[in-house]
Structure 1
Amino acid sequence: MKRVTGIGGIFFKCKDPKKMGEWYQKHLGFGAEQYGTKFDWQQEGTGATNKGYTLWSPFSDQTNYFAPSAKDFMINFRVENLEALAEELKKEGVTFVDSIETYEYGKFVHILDIEGNKLELFEPAE
């Protein structure tokens, strides 16, 4: 079973997400979308059906979204079959922060690595 298939996003805390987004837009050409900037891509050799994106997203330094981690960042990993992977990770003793949530754009769950970094696992909707 494949576990991680790519990086779905890089999230980090900053004092002013709006100003941070404006700086990246002005100096590095990032787009300005609601959740940050999407970098669209297509997995080589798979045809037009396997498109995806990686999200760059600044969060307020006051956010609790990264809790219980005290770190200023969180990485979102793209996965296949999140439910099966979650079952395997539970058997391996991985710490889960929450339960799988399903939205129109995909499924999510949060885990902690051995140093307490919160990681977001994301199975995109088809």
Structure 2
Amino acid sequence: MTGNPYRSPVPGPDMDRNESHLPADVTLGGIARPVFLAWERLRVVYVVLLGALTLLLVGSGIFGMPMLVRIGEGAIAANLCFFAGPAVEIYVRWLGYRGKMLRWILFVSGVLLSMILVIATLAGVLLPDQN
């Protein structure tokens, strides 16, 4: 009868403690670089979609300073939230998942969430005193 196949390996004299059992190209840097480059291309689409939605909701009227400040704050927050996509993808890929749909699922769900936040934020500014 053999031992438990699920137990952790015990380091012995023939096992290097620094030895990785992953392929050489599966380093955090090897995973992160292509992910960040791909997400930077998606950032353009993200900004255009959120900018178009914002302009559609606000209309072509003349913006007052409070509105411009609010839109600027929202743009900064949206770009900070955008970073969650590549961060989650890198982590999931580092764990070993290699599916091709992950990026698109994260991107589409993040854009939809951001659009909801844009609508909620601008509704508070455009429709004051609504309870």
TM-score by length of 2: 0.24
Structure number with larger C-alpha Rg: 2
When you count strand as a share of all residues, which structure comes out higher? Answer: 1
> Does 1 or 2 have the higher relative contact order (CA < 8 Å, sep 6+)?
2
When you count helix as a share of all residues, which structure comes out higher? Answer: 2
TM-score by length of 1: 0.24
